[in-house]
Amino acid sequence: MTGLTAPSGWAGSSSDPVDEQFGDVVSPADLDTAGEFDVVLLGEPYDGAVISRRGAAEGPEALRNALAGMKTHHFDIGPVESVADLGNVDIPAGSVGEVQDAIRGVTESIHALDALPVFLGGDNSLTVPNVSPLLEDSSVGVLNVDAHLDVREVRDGPTSGTPYRQLHEAGLDSYACIGARHFETSTAYHEYVCENGGTVVTAEEVTADLPEAVDRALSGLDNVDRIYCSVDIDVLDAIYDGSSAPTPGGLLPRELFRLIRLVAEDKRIGGFELVECAPPLDTDGRTVDAAARTVAHFLSGWSA
């Protein structure tokens, strides 16, 4: 099993003594102590499977830095509490498939904890080891918040576009994509999702009636005991360009935040990830900031 690099310390940046920030409440931990918390973070600094623009390997640290300076308070729910950080998984040398196999040893240990795992990506290929341990003992559905379906065929090895095809073949019970964009996927891949009983909810549907869109996506996962939620930050509009594949017509951050809070309230949530955030490609840090706030909204909704 590959190892972990211990997290650096978290610290808030505000000079106001009552400004509680994530930097003040997130505690470094290891596998022996992480189970004492409600939520545990793990960074996955890898972008070796990206089929477009690289840079997501720098996502975990950028997300931590952005979170550290954010306040913990949500007006409807109150402050976020009880969050641990395990640091980063050590990425081994090798092919994408070999990396997926090696990292699964770590994710199995994390899913075994009495804490909700939250993975900070990294690229979408690591969704495979992040979800796979859940398939062993329960029926599982994935909610993919994404501009793309990511069900490409595995031809010359896995990529960031193949994770849900791989998971279907490994026994995934249900799949729903919300935020999908017209003209961003091939007909064959949409047909594959439909043939396997999946659900596709477009970005237009989210904008038209967000609660109804979320309900429709979750209704496609009614038959499962556990839900894993993956957010590919390219679900945002292309003005948020710090992602592997930005395109026009996506969601606004406010829409994503509300969407993810509604999803997080589902009691079947068994894991969460934020992937494909690429800080070197970002303009003025706007994508990193939106991505970090997406994580914060998820934590707040889940703890409600």
pLDDT tens for 125-135 read: 999 999 999 99
Residues 300, 301, 304, CA angle at the centre, nearest 5°?
A: 85
Q: Where are the domains of the chain?
A: 4-303
pLDDT tens for 35-85 read: 999 999 999 999 999 988 999 999 999 999 999 999 999 999 999 999 999
- pTM, two decimals, is 0.97
Q: How many helices (H) and strands (E) does the chain have?
A: 10, 12
Average pLDDT over residues 22-28: 96
Nearest Cα to 145, choosing from 250, 83, 71, 232?
232
Half-sphere exposure of 245 (CA within 13 A, CB side): 20
Average pLDDT over residues 199-208: 98
Question: Is the pLDDT at 207 greater than 90, yes or no?
Answer: yes
In three-state secondary structure terms, 301 is helix
pLDDT > 70 in the chain, percent: 100
CB-neighbour burial class of residue 16 (10 A; exposed 0-12, middle 13-18, buried 19+): exposed
Q: Which of the two residues, 1 and 41, has the higher pLDDT score?
A: 41
9 pLDDT band (50/70/90 cuts)?
Answer: confident
Report the chain's mean pLDDT, rounded to a whole number: 97
Question: Is the pLDDT at 90 greater than 90, yes or no?
Answer: yes
Decide if domain 4-303 falls under CATH 3.90.1200.10.
no
pLDDT tens for 169-181 read: 999 999 999 999 9
The predicted pLDDT at position 123 comes to 98
* CA distance linking residue 11 with residue 154, whole number of Å: 42
| Backbone CA torsion sign across 121, 124, 127, 128 | negative
261 pLDDT band (50/70/90 cuts)?
Answer: very high
The predicted pLDDT at position 8 comes to 84
Question: Is the pLDDT at 242 greater than 80, yes or no?
Answer: yes
Question: Is the pLDDT at 1 greater than 80, yes or no?
Answer: no
* CA distance linking residue 119 with residue 116, whole number of Å: 10
Average pLDDT over residues 111-129: 97
Q: Respond yes or no on whether the N-terminal peptide bond of residue 157 is cis (omega within 30° of 0).
A: no
Question: Is the pLDDT at 296 greater than 90, yes or no?
Answer: yes
Question: Is the pLDDT at 255 greater than 70, yes or no?
Answer: yes
